[in-house]
Amino acid sequence: MKQSHLFTKTQKENPAGEMSINAQYLIRAGFVDKLSSGIYTLLPLGLRVVKKIQDIVREEMDALGAQELLMPSLHPKEVWETTGRWDVEEMYKIADEPYGLGWTHEEIITPLMKRFLLSNKDLPKAAYQIQTKFRNEPRAKSGLLRGREFIMKDLYSFHENQDDLDDYYERVKEAYFNVYRRLGLGEITFLTLASGGTFSKYSHEFQTITDAGEDIIYICHKCKLATNKEVADGKCPLCGSTDLEEKKAIEVGNIFKLGTKYTAPFNLVTQNNNPLIMGCYGIGITRLLGTVVEALSDTKGIVWPKSIAPFAIHLVQIDGGNAEVVEKCNEIYEILQKEGFEVLYDNRSEKTAGEKLNDSDLIGIPLRLVVSQKTLSVDGVEIKERTSKEASLVKINELVNYLKKNV
Amino acid sequence: MKQSHLFTKTQKENPAGEMSINAQYLIRAGFVDKLSSGIYTLLPLGLRVVKKIQDIVREEMDALGAQELLMPSLHPKEVWETTGRWDVEEMYKIADEPYGLGWTHEEIITPLMKRFLLSNKDLPKAAYQIQTKFRNEPRAKSGLLRGREFIMKDLYSFHENQDDLDDYYERVKEAYFNVYRRLGLGEITFLTLASGGTFSKYSHEFQTITDAGEDIIYICHKCKLATNKEVADGKCPLCGSTDLEEKKAIEVGNIFKLGTKYTAPFNLVTQNNNPLIMGCYGIGITRLLGTVVEALSDTKGIVWPKSIAPFAIHLVQIDGGNAEVVEKCNEIYEILQKEGFEVLYDNRSEKTAGEKLNDSDLIGIPLRLVVSQKTLSVDGVEIKERTSKEASLVKINELVNYLKKNV
């Protein structure tokens, strides 16, 4: 895409009233726009990243045999009264109408499954959605990390017995680790014990280390398990080690063994009339967008991992006053497009070289290609990775082969 | 996908309280589930169709040079007060909070564009989203045709002057016709004059003929233009003909020249301080799902056009008690998967041949392949198009070639 065509622009100044790094960078670089506290528009660049995060999550859910559906946001009062959760503070309610806005979907999917899970032969089954959630959030001050409106993946599984849930739960854990690894967060994301609720002592969170995190976790590097402060007692519950590292972290996933908490009130039962055993598993998609920015950025701007970068290549035209540079650079852009590379092409004529290079660092595309009078004088393109200080020169006639190996 | 794995099931009985054909068929076949009046869950089969409709619309919008973004549903009261629309009856409001739920997005995108449209060189620009809308709808009785929560594509364009809007508007018209043609609705969808509003005498709707439609239109077959009853006066406004056909129809798109109606109050202006000229263009995605079912179904069930069918092929195993049939049918399924065909495989052992063939008609996949003892006795597969009465036999070793030509 040509940058002159993109309707968004970068901005130099930090947006007023945004304290979080993720929102500052995402707004300045033109990935999101703030409509109100905790409520953001995904601009074209931001939507491209979010779609790639969604695709990674979707692939991992599909690999678990889970089936995608899309449930509504308008929830009738009566289903929430069935479980006694109509009056929780998380829920926005519609004025003068018997609806609340969904912040989770146990109350929708459990009665829905009664239509279809009719015999033990129908079990186990799992279904997920990638959907917009709403949450009455008093502390919406962390940019994309904690929103009043946000995109989540929520998966629900239904089982005949506890053993079957336990097996599936372990498989979901692995799928979650796959997601974080593919997002470039693998090394800094830890399975973390958190408070459990009615049916188990602990639940499991996935926590990514970042100074912007609102949680405190204690990491045991020996057994790669962390404990949330809310349930910590000075030693690792798994190996007993007291050699723990205290870190700030952001919760990027949470999985629960719900047992019969929702299947019992909705009477979703097996042939023997026992309530089904249920699990639920959440990942915040837009929270991951913010987390990647918090965890991987540097002082110049965002650093996208290749897997979710809005484009693979940022082609930057310098010396746009020179007709030969423009012509040659347009030619290179056409070739890269034809070869199927995802390219953002900074063809803007009104910007200086310095402005363009600063913008490129701010936007954070993994590979930068600069075409200028200087590079053309040796028939070359200057190539630099966003995370590297060194640039190198590649001959134009070797460029496509080089990129095929390195993108 | 194996039908035994799919968590949804077909049902024989019409759902209680559903008067519309689209909701009856979509519920019975397992494409949607009704949560409440005008509020539906998209089940895996339904979501597959909706994604294909979205992809077609997205391709046509991208071809117009429009850029995709995603705006929020929670809208601050103040932006709606700016245009005097906070108290319209369409809007759901959040209890005790200063938010309404978005049923359209002029009030969001216009101030958003002020951040970016800074000079005349930035014009024209167009942006669209595919997003969930909410609408306080007293008449939510038509299944997917009129919802309280529904998916829409809304496109907004911004221009320096009226001529530029007029040109773009004509291009959008063509894009809309492309969408309806690709959905199999081309022959029965008419550009229709409707009431205009502040800035023009008429707006344009696209109306698809179906008995379930809530509008009355008068079609001039001579110039291929229709007139909505609300503005009709007995003759075609274009050619003057009085030879008009009265039909029930459903509005599947609506395009407006908004002029400065929203850019003026938000002070979105050109360098010369004139408000930008704006257009908006809507297509109801889930309404199209319902419209296709209303317009193209027969008495046996749904008839999906190839372009948006949930699967291209329905492979039906008959005589599942016979081990050779099961083995051979599994083999054919594997081959078709490997060749990249989208196949729903009815491998259910508990259903009779009659039940399976009825289900296949109800679900409405374009091509049905039956494998039975009888077809295997001649090394063949019985092939029938959903819209045809005739079946034919194709040899198994010629099947892939046949399908490559016919799917």
Are B116 and A7 inside 8 Å of each other by CB? yes
Are B74 and A36 inside 8 Å of each other by CB? yes
* A7, A50, A67 ranked by CB distance to B127: nearest: A7
Say whether pLDDT at B202 is over 90.
no
Please check whether residue B304 lies inside any domain of the structure: no
* 3-class state of residue B313 by DSSP: strand
**C-alpha dist (Å) from residue A306 to A57, A218, A300, A337, A367:** 16, 30, 18, 18, 9
Instruction: Give tens-digit pLDDT for B72-99.
Output: 999 999 999 999 999 999 999 999 999 9
Say whether pLDDT at B198 is over 70.
no
B203 and B240 share one domain: yes
Please check whether residue B5 lies inside any domain of the structure: no
Percent of chain B with pLDDT over 70: 99
Please check whether residue A240 lies inside any domain of the structure: yes
**What is the domain extent for residue B73?**
21-296
Tokens of A256: 């629960």
Query: For position B269, what pLDDT does the model report?
Result: 96
Please check whether residue A306 lies inside any domain of the structure: no
Total domains, chain A:
2
Please check whether residue A29 lies inside any domain of the structure: yes
Instruction: Give tens-digit pLDDT for B230-248.
Output: 999 999 998 999 999 999 9
B335 and B257 share one domain: no
Interface predicted TM-score (ipTM): 0.97
Query: For position A198, what pLDDT does the model report?
Result: 67
B91 and B206 share one domain: yes
Do A108 and B33 meet the contact criterion of CB atoms below 8 Å apart?
no
Among A296, A327, A361, residue at a domain's last position: A296
CB atoms within 10 A of CB B230: 11
Residue B257 sits at the vertex; the CA angle it makes with B253 and B262, to the nearest 5 degrees, is 110
For residue B275, the number of C-alpha atoms closer than 13 Å in the C-beta half-sphere is: 15
B33 and B104 share one domain: yes
Tokens of B14: 């019409």
The letter for the amino acid at B117 is L
**Region label for B13, one of left (φ > 0), alpha (ψ between -120 and 50) or beta (otherwise):** beta
Section B113-132 average pLDDT: 96
Radius of gyration of chain B (CA): 24
Please check whether residue A7 lies inside any domain of the structure: no
Mutate to test the interface with A, among B41, B88, B119 (most CBs of A within 10 A): B41
Query: For position A268, what pLDDT does the model report?
Result: 97
Return all residues near A273 (Cβ < 8 A) that are at least 6 apart.
none
Among B296, B325, B359, residue at a domain's last position: B296
Among B269, B296, B323, residue at a domain's last position: B296
Say whether pLDDT at B327 is over 70.
yes
A73 and A110 share one domain: yes
B283 and B349 share one domain: no
Sign of CA dihedral A24, A26, A30, A34: negative
Instruction: Give tens-digit pLDDT for B357-391.
Output: 999 999 999 999 999 999 999 999 999 999 999 99
A232-269 burial code (b ≥16 CB/10 A, e <16): beeebeeeeeeebeebebbbbbbbbbbbbbbbbbbebe
Radius of gyration of chain A (CA): 24
A191 and A239 share one domain: yes
Return all residues near B39 (Cβ < 8 A) that are at least 6 apart.
A72, A74, A76, B140, B147, B148, B149
Instruction: Give tens-digit pLDDT for B248-271.
Output: 999 999 999 999 999 999 999 998
B147 and B31 share one domain: yes
Q: Where are the alpha helices (DSSP H) in B229-304?
A: 285-296
Question: ω into residue B124 within 30 of 0, thus cis?
Answer: yes
Q: In chain A, positions 100-159, which contact chain B (CB-CB < 8 Å)?
A: 101, 108, 112-113, 115-118, 122, 125, 127, 132, 134, 136, 148-149
pLDDT < 70 stretches in chain A = 198-199
* A76, A117, A350 ranked by CB distance to B36: nearest: A76
Per-chain mean pLDDT for chain B: 96
Return all residues near B103 (Cβ < 8 A) that are at least 6 apart.
B90, B91, B92, B133, B134, B135, B136
Please check whether residue B301 lies inside any domain of the structure: no
Percent of chain B with pLDDT over 90: 93
**C-alpha dist (Å) from residue B80 to A36, B266, B292:** 13, 11, 34
B98 and B223 share one domain: yes
Say whether pLDDT at B2 is over 90.
yes
- We report the CATH number of the domain holding residue A343 as 3.40.50.800
- We report the CATH number of the domain holding residue A143 as 3.30.930.10
B329 and B240 share one domain: no
Query: For position A320, what pLDDT does the model report?
Result: 79
CA distance B41 to chain A (A): 4
Say whether pLDDT at B199 is over 90.
no
Please check whether residue B4 lies inside any domain of the structure: no
B290 and B315 share one domain: no
B346 and B375 share one domain: yes
